Amino acid sequence: MNIQIRKVETEELRTALFLQYKMHISMMLQERDPETKPMSDEMAMQWLDDKNEVCVRNYAFENEKVIGFMEIYLRKPDDPEYGLNKGLGYMSGYVVPEYRNRGIGTSLAKKAFLDIKDAGVHTIGSYSCSEEGNRFLQKLGVPSSIFSIMRLEFDGLDWSIIDEWLKIAKKPGNNWKVELHTEITDQFVDDVSDLSFATAVEFNKMNNQETIDLREAEKKKWQDSKEFLEKFRQYRCFLVKDANGMVIGYTEGGIDNENPGRFMQYVTAVDAEHRGNGIGKLLKALMLDHIRQNNPQVKMITTGNNDLNAPMLGINSRLGFKKRRTEINYKIRVEEVLKKLGV
């Protein structure tokens, strides 16, 4: 078996290796979720957009054929949070099934971690939804959090629950205003960023992440997501505001343009001081009712929740969400893994 592992620049993936890159990313995503459709050229090019991060890419070849890869993503020096989080990174990897259990993943890891050895990075995050992936990552690091990836089929949804939860907004004392947003505008970002920042801090703690969020960078994160959402999602976000116009809850997601029968649920958040008043249920009901009224082609909604997030898991369970798979997140200490790998 003539296997070569080498560093690959992004431009090579955009040109000579593009078709192989697109095929392998599609294979990886379909293995995670068999109903995922093959990736389009436009989406694959978007995945290769490195404007917001540095990506160290190593690929395994048998002759000219790509059989696996490992990519480590690091922050760029112009990132507002670079000074706080430059020691953290993220890793993604894949080996074609028929080439597994031959040491290719380990060889990729050796090369990848050697490449970042002197980059000042101390911790790398990664995750897996498969037994093979978990066995591999357990050799490199330790679990940090567990997520349930869930799906709700609209055919089995009890709409009477939605209709009941919609009434929460009309209860006496709930002097709230509901807004629907379909674009990431400057005003929208101004409105939502305080709560989204507080939610990010809370989620990082729940997820056992070491990332330090900077309030001043929160608006940039929303703006950075704008191009992707405009190209590949039919974005929806419901805001609930109090009598003073402050956002006290929001839920966001989007219809996948490459799979229009699926709505992808992102964050649902409620301000800590306003919890226990049914805002989370109301937000879920608003989104589902909106899809019912406007997007009859949508057949399912997908989401993921930390297993420690009992309130949201409870809401999703009540709606009929079913667990599809378990996602385990890992922390990999660079200094320790270099020793384990003998690098």
Domain match, 260 and 119 both = no
**Residue 75 β-bridge partners:** 53
User: Which of 126, 90, 117, 88 is CA-nearest to residue 341?
Assistant: 117
Residue 71, SS3 per DSSP: strand
Res. 52 pLDDT band, cuts 50 70 90: confident
Residue 309 resides in a domain: yes
Q: Does any domain span residue 227?
A: yes
Contact between 92 and 126 under an 8 Å Cβ cutoff? The reply is yes
Query: Does one domain contain both 24 and 97?
Result: yes
Identify the band that residue 51 occupies on the pLDDT scale cut at 50, 70 and 90.
confident
Determine the Cα angle at 68 with ends 62 and 69, to 5°. Answer: 125
User: Cα–Cα distances in Å, from 70 out to 111, 237, 279?
Assistant: 9, 34, 41
CATH of the domain at 41: 3.40.630.30
| 334 and 266 part of one domain | no
d(CA 236, CA 229): 10
The answer to whether residues 46 and 116 belong to one domain is yes
Residue 153 falls inside a structural domain: no
Could you tell me if residue 25 is inside a domain? yes
Residues 287 and 266: their CA atoms lie apart, in Å, by: 12
Residues 334 and 290 in one domain: no
Range of the domain at 60: 3-147+329-341
Residue 231 lies in a domain: yes
Return mean pLDDT, the chain: 96
Q: Is residue 193 part of a domain?
A: yes
Is 173 found in the same domain as 80?
no
Note whether 110 and 341 are within 8 A (CB): yes
State how far the Cα of 243 lies from the Cα of 53, in Å rounded to an integer.
Answer: 40
pLDDT in tens, 110-127: 999 999 999 999 999 999
Residues 291 and 202 in one domain: yes
What's the confidence (pLDDT) of residue 63? 94
Total domains in the fold of the chain: 2
Least confident of 5-14, 25-34, 261-270: 25-34
304 & 181 share domain = yes
The answer on 223 and 94 residing in a single domain is no
Residues of the chain with pLDDT > 90: what percent?
95
Whether 115 maps to a domain, the answer reads yes
Helix (H) or strand (E) segment spanning residue 104: helix 104-115
Assigned domain for 152 exists: no
Q: Are residues 139 and 179 in the same domain?
A: no
Is residue 212 domain-shared with residue 306, that is, in the same domain?
Answer: yes
Name the helix (H) or strand (E) containing 311: helix 310-319
For residue 337, the surrounding DSSP H or E stretch is: helix 334-341
pLDDT of residue 45: 96
- CB-based burial, 81-117: b 16+ in 10 Å, e otherwise: beebbbebbbbebbbbeebeeeebbebbbbbbbeebe
The two beta strands, 300-306 and 65-75, are unpaired
CA–CA gap between residue 199 and residue 275 (Å, rounded) = 13
The conformation of residue 182, written as its DSSP 8-state character, comes to -
CA 12, CA 69: separation in Å to the nearest integer?
Answer: 14
Q: What does each C-alpha distance from 187 to 168, 181, 191, 338 come to in angstroms?
A: 26, 11, 6, 47
Q: Is the pLDDT of residue 1 over 80?
A: no
Share of residues in the chain with pLDDT > 70 (%) = 100
Which pLDDT band holds residue 218 (cuts at 50, 70, 90)?
Answer: very high
Are 55 and 198 part of one and the same domain?
A: no
Mean pLDDT for 238-245 is 98
